[in-house]
Amino acid sequence: MAVWTVREKLLVEGLMPERALLRLRRAGIDVYNVKKTQKNQILLSVKKKDVEKVFAIYPKVCYNINAYSPYTVRRAGTEGAGKLLRFLKKRGFFVAGALLFCACTLFADSFVFDVEFVGSSVYKREAYAALEEYGIAPFRKYDGSRVDLICSKLLSLDGVEFCSVKKSGAYVRVEMRLDNTPTRTFVKGDMVAAHTGEIVAITTLRGTPLKRKGEKVQAGEMLVGGWFTPAEGGQVRVEPIARASIACVYEAEIAAEDEESAFAAAYLALGLSESDTLTKREVVKKDESYAVRIEYTAIERMNL
């Protein structure tokens, strides 16, 4: 390519300098980029190996002052690769320093020199362990192909709501943010009915429902199982999150002085909670006691 050809620029001066080109051509010297800069002056380029031939035809006035020549030739610089080489020669230390800097930068960018934390550092030890497990550690070559696995592992820690692992220069930056909401403790096991009655409604957010609306249930019987079945089969244990409404009936024969006393005794025996609802009551007088029937809806929850 022409850019890598070393050429010398020559300035030819004399009367009708165009004729000097004919002599150079007859001598087999190729000329390039010919440009007439003044009436008696032409700027041209020749290959570096042909420069001495040109000066043999048109000797330099400075060392051959007694020789006559209708034309004078002077050097006017270099072009192509010669210009680049001259630049490198004059600024060798600068170029070497720049190349060394680029090499060091490329080297440093592919290695890890330290790990820095942004945000919370509560789980710093766990983060170091996760990074080490997936091949990221100081003074090792950086491999970011498993960053998603590292973030998944850190996000599984209690209270971590955001995680990011990024390479920044010679450092790996780990950013973690914690959820300020107090950590909730879930009750483990299965959801078991505390009342006997008929299912009015059942809502299951997590777990496996074992009863449906309209079905009968006995106290102590399971309502929701603490597991779920994935598509590929098997069972995975979970903490159930569920709510059930159960229509219940309480019947008892209570000895009391009057109807209200009998009902009060029955109501206390039920032990209803604030969420339970009384739907119907009946108190019937017998010989020395009262027959009390109370219908109510019991609300049972687990982790909800």
pLDDT tens over the chain, length 304 residues:
444 567 888 878 877 777 778 888 888 888 888 888 888 888 888 888 888 888 888 776 554 445 556 778 888 777 765 555 555 555 555 655 666 655 555 555 567 778 888 887 788 888 888 888 888 888 788 887 888 888 888 888 888 888 888 887 778 888 888 877 655 678 899 999 999 999 999 999 989 999 999 999 999 999 999 998 887 788 888 899 999 999 999 999 999 989 999 999 999 998 888 889 999 999 999 888 999 999 999 999 999 8
Q: Which two tokens stand for residue 69?
A: 């020549």
Global pTM reads 0.43
Q: Which two tokens stand for residue 98?
A: 């720049």
For strands 171-178 and 160-168, give the pairing: antiparallel
Measured between alpha carbons, how far is residue 175 from residues 134, 136, 165 in Å?
17, 15, 7
Please name the amino acid found at residue 130: A
